[in-house]
Amino acid sequence: MIAARPKTLLAMGHQVADRLITSRVRDRLAAIADVNPDLVAADFADPAVAGELASAEVLYTSWWCPPITEDVLARAPRLRAIVHAAGTVKHHVTEACWQRGILVSSAAAANAEPVAEYTLASILFANKRVLDLARLYRERRAGIDLEGSFPGIGNYRRTVGIVGASRIGRRVIELLRPFELDVLVADPYLREDLGVPHVELDELFERCDVISVHAPALPETRHLIDAARLARMRDGATLINTARGALVDQDALIAELAAGRLYAVIDVTEPDVLPADSPLYDLPNVLLTPHIAGSLGGELARLTELALDELERYAHGQPFAYGIEAEALATSA
């Protein structure tokens, strides 16, 4: 038990709290912090949270946390830290928080793991043409000439390109190491050796059989993957996007997919939920999923464990292991 438990307020959507704040999490929160696990600030203007906000030293946040604006901070004079049990903090940690010197931590490292796992599976399935063969087998209900239908099928010595040496991109590179694949990475901010060739983005698009996108969504990365770059891809190559829909020119991608030249695994789109008439629902060379690569179900426990570890470090006067600096947000998610 910690002698001086920091006064902590939960701030997230009520539905998120129902999933994250399990009995085990409640017990650990009680051991670390002075917190009311039944009070959730889904709206900082709610009179019911005013007293707790005024005395809170830490905000324990997650998805759908409202923005922590200058007005909110004025009503939280004792606030010293924000521990985020999810990925990006850009949606709720405002410039006012950084100006006040509030410490910020994120569980983005924990959320990176399922995304990287999903990407690994997608890469291996793409080169094995699993979706195509499963569809053909279902349609024909007879033997298939595998090599004749898909010459060169398989993963051995295929070239995989990673767009963005982000936390997730780096983890994907690590997960790919046991496989006999050739891996390239493209990232203009990369200054260290990740053990794979670092190439320019256009070269990566020309050389790879599978390209996986892990860059941050920034104004300068909107439509980073445009018609010209898609045109550089090899016939039969696969584009995987688990990052953000805005990184890809969706209309240009649909044109390439409709022509049958490329394949795609798309977990994020623009908008997040596509209209019912989008061609992406029906194209046979597309695996379209509704943003499932990140933490779901039992994987949420990984986020809370990391965030609780960070809260415990703060309670012991130790620095965060996964602290976020304002300057890093300019080039990260």
Question: Which residues are tagged catalytic?
Answer: 244, 270, 291
Please name the residue that has the structure tokens 């805005």: 246
Count CB neighbours of 72 within 10 A: 21
Q: Is 9 helix (H, G, I), strand (E, B) or coil?
A: strand
Residue 304 phi, psi (nearest 5) = -65, -35
> Rounded to 10 degrees, what is the CA torsion of 231, 237, 240, 244?
0
Tell which residue, 202, 146, 211, 156, has the closest CA to residue 179: 156
Q: Could you please report the per-residue DSSP string of 278-303? A: -GGGT-TTEEE-SS-SS--GGGHHHH
Residue 306 β-bridge partners: none
Count CB neighbours of 273 within 10 A: 9
Count CB neighbours of 67 within 10 A: 14
Order of strands, edge to edge, in the sheet holding 238-241? 182-186, 159-163, 210-213, 238-241, 263-266, 286-288
Residues in the chain: 333
